[in-house]
Structure 1
Amino acid sequence: MMKRKLVPDVVKSQELILVTEDTSVLTVSKLMAEKNIGAVLVVNHGDLVGIVTERDLNNKVLSTQIDAFETEVSAIMTRNPDTLPPDADAIEALTLMQSKHYRHLPITQGKRAVGIVSIRDLFKLAYEHLVEEVEFRDSLMRT
């Protein structure tokens, strides 16, 4: 199961949402709500410069007096986040995310943002693998 590559095995058809550093926090928050996603990648001419997560919005905006309309996303994003390449396997992503307590991990080709993997994507993969194993075991027991 965990030898599967991040792209395309884990991150399948993904609408990648990218914003620039001067995007308002309010716009990013609305985008995340509208698309039902937990993180957005911040780019400069396609190169990854940061990530904004639900946790950033909660800890740096909702719980403070920051004006979400006036504040640019560059003020609250996590700069230069850890990344993995598309051919990294799922276990690498899971190990990194577990050790650093990440729920989202950008996928980059060189410096270019090409995708994002969430802990939910990895749970889904693990679940599918477990179901396949159980079905395989059951089929062996029936023969």
Structure 2
Amino acid sequence: MTQHVRDIMTKDLVTVAPLTSVVDVAQLMRREDIGDVLVVEDGHLRGMVTDRDLVVRVMAEGGNPGDRTVASACSEDLLTVGPGDTVGDVIGLMREHAVRRVPVVEGDRPVGIVSLGDLAIERDPGSALGDISAARPDG
């Protein structure tokens, strides 16, 4: 039986508006123990910011991070999939484009996200990546 993205995606999305400060986003990531946040404006997906984006696009450039908004740090040209796409399709896209997270959208409205960890838990729960992804976060 073909498995679909809706079956494995994370549905509890953490989102911010484009003008949210990067400091607030970093604190949100720490509080929620996540590595990515979707940037949403009026319900529409505008981008995604990861913990790596904050380091490479904000911290490495210097200056005062408190003066920067997430709009200046997020990736805007995103690969997306739909909830009805197959898990095999999303694996192929992630491999081809070397990405670890893919937003799931209906139209341009986010409804979920699929991560490499989600796939590991689903496809190979006994693997090291599956074990790490399923483990409770360190306090």
State if a TM-score over 0.5 links the two structures: yes
The alignment status of 1:117 with 2:123, answered yes or no, reads: no
How far residue 89 of structure 1 moved from its aligned partner, in angstroms, is: 1.3
Identity of aligned residues (%): 32
1:74 to 1:124, Cα distance in 2 relative to 1, 3 A: same
Which string of whole-angstrom CA distances, capped at 9 and with x for unpartnered residues, describes residues 20-44 of structure 1? 1000001111111111111111011
Q: Which position in structure 1 is the counterpart of 2:4?
A: 5
Q: Which position in structure 2 is the counterpart of 1:57?
A: 54
In 2, are the aligned partners of 1:48 and 1:80 still within 8 Å (CA)?
no
- The two structures, once aligned, show a CA RMSD in angstroms of 1.8
In 2, are the aligned partners of 1:19 and 1:41 still within 8 Å (CA)?
yes
Q: Which position in structure 2 is the counterpart of 1:134?
A: none
Which string of whole-angstrom CA distances, capped at 9 and with x for unpartnered residues, describes residues 48-69 of structure 1? 0101012211211222204221
The alignment status of 1:73 with 2:67, answered yes or no, reads: no
Please list every run of at least 4 consecutive aligned residues from structure 1 whose deviation after the TM superposition is greater than 4 angstroms.
none
Partner Cα separation in structure 1 for residue 64 and residue 28 of structure 2: 17
Which string of whole-angstrom CA distances, capped at 9 and with x for unpartnered residues, describes residues 73-103 of structure 1? 0001111311001111111111111111111
The one-letter amino acid of 2:9's match is: V
Unaligned runs of 5+ in 1: 131-143
Unaligned runs of 5+ in 2: 128-139
- Count of residue pairs brought into register by the alignment: 127
The one-letter amino acid of 1:102's match is: V
**Normalised by the size of structure 2, how large is the TM-score?**
0.84
Q: Which position in structure 1 is the counterpart of 2:136?
A: none
1:65 to 1:45, Cα distance in 2 relative to 1, 3 A: same
SS in 2 for 1:40: strand
How far residue 129 of structure 1 moved from its aligned partner, in angstroms, is: 9.3
Q: Which position in structure 2 is the counterpart of 1:133?
A: none
In 2, are the aligned partners of 1:52 and 1:77 still within 8 Å (CA)?
yes
Q: Which position in structure 2 is the counterpart of 1:137?
A: none
For residue 94 of structure 2, the aligned residue among 80, 92, 97 is 97
Superposition pairs of residues 15-94 of structure 1, within 5 angstroms: 15-94=12-91
Partner Cα separation in structure 2 for residue 99 and residue 68 of structure 1: 33
SS in 1 for 2:61: coil
SS in 2 for 1:78: coil
